[in-house]
Structure 1
């Protein structure tokens, strides 16, 4: 798809250009709108399955199992890289597949531009990276050294992240999880559904082992098992054997009864035929047992799932957990030729049909990567690119247009998203009913559970919500005994978040556009964001409230804060909380309930520390109504200051400049008391007050805003209260109750 004259140019550095996963990734990038050049090593023929419209550049020859030879090939490729890549266009992004090409990525960046981002793609954890000896330490140090330029990690299984990348790799990168799903670029065909295919009477059950065939233990086990079954089971092998892992693969298979090997196949073109030829898919791998093989989610799991081959998996592995959680296959605690013989000796057509039916009930999106996901990947890569100068508008427009296209393709998937919408409230009788009606009108075809967490309202708010439950579907009222918002959100997620994908947080004293929730969900899906934050438009009604709104919308009151200043369309450190992936929220432990205020900034710190990404959308916003009296405003900002101090102490951070300047206000005001002895002690306070008042009059005159002078008073209250709260918390003077 062409978007004006803009194309994202990707240089893909491949460890093995004959690897089917490389071809799939290249096709994914192309389908997403990228132009791809592949520079990689060759380990055999069939480079990219002979894709004719992809430019390929050979970096040299490597071989399976010959690690020293591969190191030499990488060093040689690095020395001649400038000459090798001389004729290709400068890329916008470099993707390096595996450590050996990551070692070349930095060299490639220096050739073209030091601003080109590097994405590290690692879909297997090599056993040397997991070695506990000197070799392993050197490998991990090399990965850490060459990965210092990377800005994103792509991997295929959450277990890789949990067991290696987070605890052991030394890399601190945002993670993009791209499962090994089947690439399906054509619309789903309108045809008869896949049906169970039990063998005809007298015919054997057929088990397929397809893809990368590298597990000697699996081969020996399946050969023994097939011999024991004496024609009641046949084993079908297809794919690329790792010949270095076997003594004589071809001779061994040829001599084995009831075992067939049919060679390589095209992925995804041949998948329907080869999986349609078997009833079961072997999804067990003992290669690097207990390590990589225990953590991966293999291609054959998704391929077999899509085409109705019931998976056979090993308990205690990530594949076993995947299959067991969904109840879609055979998960065995121990697998031997004897246990397989017992299992298939009792296999009946009825049991097989039951297993098949459970597998067939899984939605297709679990198994496939479609055009929408391809565009989402390319959009994520565009977001990695540093954009400056005259290209800003063009790239931003391209992202927006990709998003529009993606939205049209993802509408059908919106109904599959399960959302938990939480409204913490306390004495919100005036606003809760219209707010709930508005949110109910936004649900459309999405699965949305609305939870009102009441903190002990005395104005009838719970009664209003209770009366609306028969009228508004999936509306729940719960009590929040701790009263604060952070506790309300945590409670709702604990009770109702188990089977939900996203959390949307709603402030009961705010207002929202009619498409607020849907826009948040679309942004989360399109940008692959873990959190989506919004800007705030502050509006007042009474005189003081209007003046406070003017102050909070100005740099005098917000210090240039992006979510107050109306920013949008960028990755940020913090913003007004709107949406979060529940998995990310739970991964960092939810809100810290010791924070009555500033809990959002504290949570954002932990999200960023764990490599989760926060996207500030410019496509929607919330309307906020400020406090209507000076005393209420003072108490609010006093609590904000305390929260900021607690945040800095907890995480040992340094205030930003826009925070450090207001921090001086309370000490300056206190120091002004010394003016009774030394007149000059009042000068700093006078300068601050004059600056605030002057800014207010500038708003009145320059911006023609009649509330400007009074806004300066609101700003001074906010400055002083925030500063006072900060210092009171820091020196340990705490309130007896929560403000």
Structure 2
């Protein structure tokens, strides 16, 4: 890493060329649409997209090769390690342009994303610019999971999970970077397998770079489509957030600690309930206070569900409640695991391919 270097940003030329970088692993249901959406951006400057191909077990490589053969702006690079940070670094290394746009196969940019983002980079003299992540779904479960992502009760805290005012931010979803900023801090940390964007943006800010959020920029995100996949993803996310806490301490926002605290509180409530029902602890005492975390959490879930618009069915509300609980508890359990044992090889990359989007 080159964390001792300062971010120096020369003035941008008119319509600087743009390199999009995308790690790819088992994305056959999303890859072609994502690439075509990127190349269709209403940006007049030169564009290329570099796909970092991990060892997929589906048709992702064949789709990528066909895209590259059909359009010379699509370039391929291998990512045998399969990890996202390694793939992003490999794609950045072979890319050629001064603006780096980090994209994902399961995200779709609005048509004006690049044009507006480059304008904001220059106007705000920013090192990185990001916008709002708006989750979407096709089936009942995926739509409920998307509601969880979009709800302040699900992933509240980061500006990019809601329509906050434009301004400086701690991180950015995906991101439109100045190449100089990425190179100044040495790129993505290959040892941080999740939360790599937040960690990179932290180092950029520490090196004097400005990270900017703008609600004018929008990205549609297609989340996991099953609760099992969601639980694996959030367990891994919580685990690696704990690694960031172990590495950077007080630089982490307080919200990183909330899910782990919740899991500990609910565990205390569950144990207290068992002991009270079994008669080991008397009800006519102060011990029922152990039930407060569970009661407060259930009340919070109830408030979140009650705020869902009236047109949603009882099933939608139940699925949303299940989504929120899965997010919170999986994240919290992963966080506690990571605090004790570190990251290890926890990935949580399961994704069910939606054939309707191929």
Deviation at 1:626, TM superposition (A): 1.4
Determine the C-alpha separation between the residues in 1 that align with 2:135 and 2:225.
12
Deviation at 1:565, TM superposition (A): 0.8
2:273 aligns to what? 675
Return 5+ residue gaps in structure 1 as ranges: 1-160, 167-173, 179-372, 374-409
| Equivalent pair of 1:693/1:709 in contact (CA under 8 Å) | no
1:473 aligns to what? 72
Equivalent of 2:336, from 727, 734, 738?
Answer: 727
| Equivalent pair of 1:557/1:715 in contact (CA under 8 Å) | yes
Change (3 A) 1:657 1:462: same
How is 1:289-300 mapped onto 2 (pairs within 5 angstroms)?
none
Deviation at 1:177, TM superposition (A): 5.6
| Equivalent pair of 1:700/1:708 in contact (CA under 8 Å) | no
Equivalent of 2:258, from 658, 661, 664?
Answer: 661
- Cα RMSD, aligned residues only: 2.4
- Describe the superposition over 1:244-290 as per-residue Cα deviations: whole angstroms up to 9, x where unpaired: xxxxxxxxxxxxxxxxxxxxxxxxxxxxxxxxxxxxxxxxxxxxxxx
Deviation at 1:418, TM superposition (A): 2.8
Equivalent of 1:624, from 221, 227, 230?
Answer: 221
Determine the C-alpha separation between the residues in 1 that align with 2:342 and 2:213.
35
| Equivalent pair of 2:50/2:91 in contact (CA under 8 Å) | yes
> Structure 2-normalised TM-score?
0.85
Determine the C-alpha separation between the residues in 2 that align with 1:486 and 1:658.
24
2:240 equivalent to 1:643:
yes
Deviation at 1:175, TM superposition (A): 6.7
Change (3 A) 1:517 1:730: same
Determine the C-alpha separation between the residues in 2 that align with 1:484 and 1:667.
31
Change (3 A) 1:678 1:733: farther
Determine the C-alpha separation between the residues in 2 that align with 1:690 and 1:569.
32
Equivalent of 2:99, from 483, 486, 502?
Answer: 502
| Equivalent pair of 1:696/1:710 in contact (CA under 8 Å) | no
Q: If you compute each CA radius of gyration, which structure gives the higher value, 1 or 2? A: 1
Deviation at 1:559, TM superposition (A): 2.0
SS of corresponding position for 1:640:
helix
SS of corresponding position for 1:699:
coil
Change (3 A) 1:531 1:436: same
2:84 equivalent to 1:485:
yes
2:54 equivalent to 1:455:
yes
SS of corresponding position for 2:161:
helix
Determine the C-alpha separation between the residues in 1 that align with 2:294 and 2:175.
37
SS of corresponding position for 1:677:
helix
Aligned residues: 331
- Describe the superposition over 1:216-237 as per-residue Cα deviations: whole angstroms up to 9, x where unpaired: xxxxxxxxxxxxxxxxxxxxxx
2:331 equivalent to 1:691:
no
2:148 equivalent to 1:551:
yes
Deviation at 1:484, TM superposition (A): 1.9
| Equivalent pair of 2:150/2:162 in contact (CA under 8 Å) | yes
Determine the C-alpha separation between the residues in 2 that align with 1:624 and 1:711.
17
- Describe the superposition over 1:434-469 as per-residue Cα deviations: whole angstroms up to 9, x where unpaired: 222222222754222211112111211111121122
Determine the C-alpha separation between the residues in 2 that align with 1:613 and 1:466.
36
Determine the C-alpha separation between the residues in 1 that align with 2:21 and 2:251.
32
1:561 aligns to what? 158
| Equivalent pair of 1:641/1:724 in contact (CA under 8 Å) | yes
How is 1:30-429 mapped onto 2 (pairs within 5 angstroms)?
413-414=14-15, 417-429=16-28
2:307 equivalent to 1:708:
no
2:33 aligns to what? 434
| Equivalent pair of 2:128/2:212 in contact (CA under 8 Å) | yes
Determine the C-alpha separation between the residues in 1 that align with 2:86 and 2:343.
20
Determine the C-alpha separation between the residues in 2 that align with 1:687 and 1:627.
28
2:122 aligns to what? 525
